[in-house]
Structure 1
Amino acid sequence: MEARARRRRLVGVLSLITALCTLSACSGATTDSGGAAATGPKIRLAVGIDAAYAPFFTADAKGLWRKHGLNVELVQFGRGGEAVDAIAGGQVQMAASSDSTTIAQFPQNPGLRALMVYQESGRYLKVVTGSKIANPAQIKKMAVVPGLSELAATRFLESKKIDVKSVKFVTADPPEIPALMQKNEVDAYVLWEPWPAKGVELGGKVLEPTGAYGLAYQQWLITGQQWLSGNEAVAVKVAKALEEATGLVESDPAGAAEATKKAAKVPTEQTLTAIKEIDFKVRDIAAADLKGYESTAAWYASTGKVKSKPDVTASVLQGWVTAKVKGTG
């Protein structure tokens, strides 16, 4: 009787394990929503944590990675430069990053490749000044984040005929910057949302968007040449999923905001505002874009932040979407 009891207990345990596996534990892990398991090799894709990355979170929420035969894990970073470094270090295979931030990385990471533009705007980044600043000429300290923020601050000062060398740049992380301005430790900054709105909450004011002085940014999908050489078909699938996702962001802002809130804890209103201010669309990097890229590369070289002027033409793949993505299955 004791032996029969042990056998019954064993059968019960095995039945429980089988049931659990059937429900979830034995299915493939993926960040895609939905019940079906992801397919294909795991792709780690680096993104940021603000509303500008809504297409990636939307692709997750709507199961678009899986629809295109992908197994994508989104890895969130606080700074675009960290995401770029993660490609060079092999931690991720692809990343989303601004053009200016990535260009600074080309000299030390010549294998980086920019595949396409998936968003652009001259309205999303804004100049914020403290309550005591009545005129830009009064600015003596500006908080900056290396990369796009610092470039935008430089171009702002130049547009106002202010000697850039007369203003001290204070490097900080985005969440710290509005408080630095409130405490009068800096006079101004140029950042993407939600940090301009946070600055206004703390007594500052938005002076103008970067487009008012001729600066627009782009966000690229980037990867490394070594990975791309053996996985271009996979990269094409990622591009096609993002093409669909950017369309959904534009056509269904509420759905994109919900996905972004769930994935990155971004309040709904922030994402809805961002969608109004950003043009989300997958497109080729074109010859017309190169002038702006070359200007950014020359700025990095002039500041001594890089040892040599970044080789933009070797690192951006013009026409990749048209050549590789359009008309493919």
Structure 2
Amino acid sequence: MIKVLNMFILAFMLIGIASCDLGTSKSLNASALKDPIKIAVSGTPLSAPFFIAQQQGYFRANGLNVELVRFDSGVKCFDALKNKQVDLATASETVVMFNSFKQTNFSVLASFVESDNDLKLLSLTPQKYQQLDNLAHARIGIVKDSASEFFLDSLLIMYNKTQQPIERIYLTAEQLIPALLNNEVDIISAWEPLSYLLTQKVHVNTNVISSRGLYHLSFNLIELKETRLSTTEKLALLKSINDATDYIHTHPELAQTKISRVLDIDPSQLSYSWNDYSFRLSLSNALFSNIQTQSQWAIDNKLVSEDNSIDFRLIFDRKLFEKFISLEAGW
């Protein structure tokens, strides 16, 4: 009788242990099966913090299931967000500015990288256009409503060439180099890595003018205000990106190796522009001022309607960023 009783007790214990294990397993599986947070990112080194966060497991370590969806420009990333294909997107401040005239249902959560040498005017005959008077009647390929367009006009304003009769040819980012090589345009206003890729095809210096310091590009993390993400998830996301930027600063060579593998690009391509990038998480007044300046440029050039202009403070989620900063030391 005692032996039978002991067997019953053992059986109940095993059932209890199995139930606990099953409960734990279900909990883990529920976490693993939760729909991933989809983030649209440009397939360039500018997106390095996101790729590093994924490679190093920072998203998982901060309790997130993240899927990175690659596009070839910030314009397409924003479009994916607007069409609700993704939960968040990355794009330049110029893309943010243009879209603010069309809708205000999005927020900028943070900026994660800046560069003062990412955009360039490129030509197969750059020496011809180093005298900017020769831009008259040139066919210039640009990506509409992007940093490409603002950069071109910034140069024209800076060198007092806004009255030059130039022909703007709007193209997608992937069409810029083919159009130049096929003599469909004389110049392109392009971001990296297009400058590097072009030099690999023609093996000559294609820069029309030194543009370092003339324009500061930033890439920013954006969400729709109507989002399924909780504040906790967004804070964890900022933490993951911040961890990744720390890794980039403390392990620059390893970071470059990882990014060259993720993007399937030659390490020499990455080193070509790597030192131009400043990776850090911020939401600064400088970004706000830059967007304001670009907004006035767009209005003056009748690229947008002044009637649709907004107070850009409405699309900056300073409350979330300030909360992240206040919590950072306690993570």
TM-score range, shorter chain: 0.7 to 0.9
Cα drift, residue 262 of structure 1 = 3.2
1:267 aligned partner, one-letter code: D
Q: Which of 48, 56, 61 is the equivalent residue of 1:67?
A: 61
Indicate the SS of the match to 1:226: coil
On the 8 A contact 2:93/2:287 being kept in 1, the answer is no
Cα drift, residue 304 of structure 1 = 3.4
On the 8 A contact 2:129/2:208 being kept in 1, the answer is no
> Using a 3 Å threshold, how does the CA distance of structure 1 residues 111 and 208 change in structure 2: closer, same or farther?
same
> Using a 3 Å threshold, how does the CA distance of structure 1 residues 134 and 225 change in structure 2: closer, same or farther?
closer
1:327 aligned partner, one-letter code: L
Cα drift, residue 134 of structure 1 = 4.2
Is 1:246 the counterpart of 2:242 in the alignment?
no
1:154 aligned partner, one-letter code: D
- What is the number of residues matched between the two proteins? 293
> Using a 3 Å threshold, how does the CA distance of structure 1 residues 231 and 208 change in structure 2: closer, same or farther?
farther
On the 8 A contact 1:54/1:260 being kept in 2, the answer is yes
1:221 aligned partner, one-letter code: L
In 1, Cα distance between equivalents of 2:205 and 2:274? 23
Deviation string 1:262-294 (CA, Å, 9 cap, x unpaired) is 3332322222333211100112x2234322211
Q: After the TM superposition, which residues 277-292 of structure 1 pair with which residues of structure 2 at under 5 Å, given as runs?
A: 277-283=276-282, 285-292=283-290
Deviation string 1:75-95 (CA, Å, 9 cap, x unpaired) is 011221121122222211111
The aligned counterpart of 2:86 is 92
Indicate the SS of the match to 2:230: helix
1:216 aligned partner, one-letter code: H
Q: After the TM superposition, which residues 117-266 of structure 1 pair with which residues of structure 2 at under 5 Å, given as runs?
A: 117-131=111-125, 132-139=128-135, 140-146=138-144, 147-163=146-162, 166-201=165-200, 202=202, 203-213=204-214, 215-227=215-227, 231-266=230-265
Cα drift, residue 40 of structure 1 = 5.5
Runs of at least 5 residues in structure 1 that lack an aligned partner in the other structure: 1-26, 30-36
> Using a 3 Å threshold, how does the CA distance of structure 1 residues 122 and 28 change in structure 2: closer, same or farther?
farther
> Using a 3 Å threshold, how does the CA distance of structure 1 residues 82 and 176 change in structure 2: closer, same or farther?
closer
Q: CA RMSD in A?
A: 2.5
Q: TM-score, normalised by structure 1?
A: 0.80
On the 8 A contact 1:141/1:170 being kept in 2, the answer is yes
In 1, Cα distance between equivalents of 2:224 and 2:238? 15
Indicate the SS of the match to 1:271: helix
Cα drift, residue 100 of structure 1 = 0.7
Cα drift, residue 245 of structure 1 = 0.6
Q: TM-score, normalised by structure 2?
A: 0.80
Deviation string 1:62-115 (CA, Å, 9 cap, x unpaired) is 111101100000001122112112222221111111111121112323111001
2:257 aligned partner, one-letter code: E
On the 8 A contact 2:123/2:188 being kept in 1, the answer is yes
Runs of at least 5 residues in structure 2 that lack an aligned partner in the other structure: 1-27
Q: Percent identity?
A: 19
In 2, Cα distance between equivalents of 1:134 and 1:187? 13
Indicate the SS of the match to 1:279: strand
In 2, Cα distance between equivalents of 1:149 and 1:129? 15
Cα drift, residue 261 of structure 1 = 3.1
Cα drift, residue 306 of structure 1 = 3.0
On the 8 A contact 1:99/1:217 being kept in 2, the answer is yes
In 1, Cα distance between equivalents of 2:268 and 2:199? 16
